[in-house]
Amino acid sequence: MQKIPVGISSCLLGENVRFDGGHKRDAYITGTLNEYFDFKPFCPEVAIGLGIPRPTIQLMKVGDETRCVGSKNNDLDYTEALRAQALQQQAEHAQLCGYIFKKNSPSCGMTRVKVYHRETPRPIGVGVFAETLMQNNPLLPVEEEGRLGDAKLRENFIQRVYVLHRWKNLIAEGLTPAGLTRFHARHKLMIMSHEDYRELGQLLAEVNKTNLETVAEQYITILMQLLKKVANRGNHVNVLQHIQGYLKKELSADDKAELCEIIEQYRRGEVPLIVPITLLKHHFRKSPDPYIQESYYMSPYPQELQLINQL
């Protein structure tokens, strides 16, 4: 199986690059995710010449700007050097399908990094390197290792990584109107679990060889933004019931009643998403449907990741 290239803060893989000479190795990342992701580690603080160990740095409000400065010596300003590192890495970042940042870091924190103003810190900042990287790569799925502890955020991030990976493969194989339309069809049920997909369908309705590149760029931009919204239980129920409709002629009354009850149990939060999906897969093995077989909704990533077991 081809591993997916994903960027990551070096300390999360166990590299001793922290300010104190230590690391923040994450067992889930180095264990489970390492089986599927080809991690590309990077530490911007080391890259700009800060030593190991080194004096700490922090975000500080300076006028209307947020700057990254030395904690003990505020005259040492590393903001532009960190931004330059992100720009220097742009070609490598463009090859990635995701990025995992170190939480709370003034260089790599994705959200709620402390910003000091008159000695009072407020969790309102973004690490300088991370901010520049995200601005330069708006399609790239990003997350922090701390937030990966939330089952819904973890599933959402990994789902987006796989979608972008499939998109990059589609582009590499040579984009065609038919290929773009098929890509959308295979993801339509997944999109439904996040948001109304009709805007994307309307966008593709007029695609042709002449406007293909323009439409494709608009499509993936809208898609990746839409998928950032974490799918909720109600939307999943709507999708499950929609899928059930493809079995209306095949199911016996008892099987239909059982499936309806399992979906209702999921709606009430009594069973995880894997339960109705497993039952649906069982019925579709007996009564295959080409559209459902092509869809990624019930198999959005390797089963071994077991993400939907916790949703």
Judge whether 139 and 164 are in contact, CB under 8 Å: yes
- pLDDT tens digits for 8-64? 999 999 999 999 999 999 999 999 999 999 999 999 999 999 999 999 999 999 999
Q: What does the alpha-carbon distance between residue 122 and residue 60 come to, in Å, rounded to a whole number?
A: 10
pTM over 0.85: yes
CB contact set of 282 (below 8 Å; sequence gap of 6+)? none
Give the confidence band of 305 by pLDDT, cuts at 50, 70, 90. confident
Write down the pLDDT at residue 154.
94
Domain boundaries in the chain? Answer: 4-149, 151-226, 233-305
Q: Among candidates 28, 8, 33, which has minimal Cα distance to 141?
A: 8
Classify residue 145 by its DSSP letter: T
Run of H or E including 228:
none
- Whether residue 264 has pLDDT greater than 80: yes
Average pLDDT, the chain: 95
Q: What does the alpha-carbon distance between residue 51 and residue 87 come to, in Å, rounded to a whole number?
A: 21
Q: What does the alpha-carbon distance between residue 154 and residue 277 come to, in Å, rounded to a whole number?
A: 19
Q: Among candidates 295, 297, 290, which has minimal Cα distance to 276?
A: 297
CA atoms within 13 A on the CB side of 308: 20
- pLDDT tens digits for 60-105? 999 999 999 999 999 999 999 999 999 999 999 999 999 999 999 9
Q: What percentage of residues in the chain have a pLDDT greater than 70?
A: 99
> Higher pLDDT residue, 308 or 72?
72
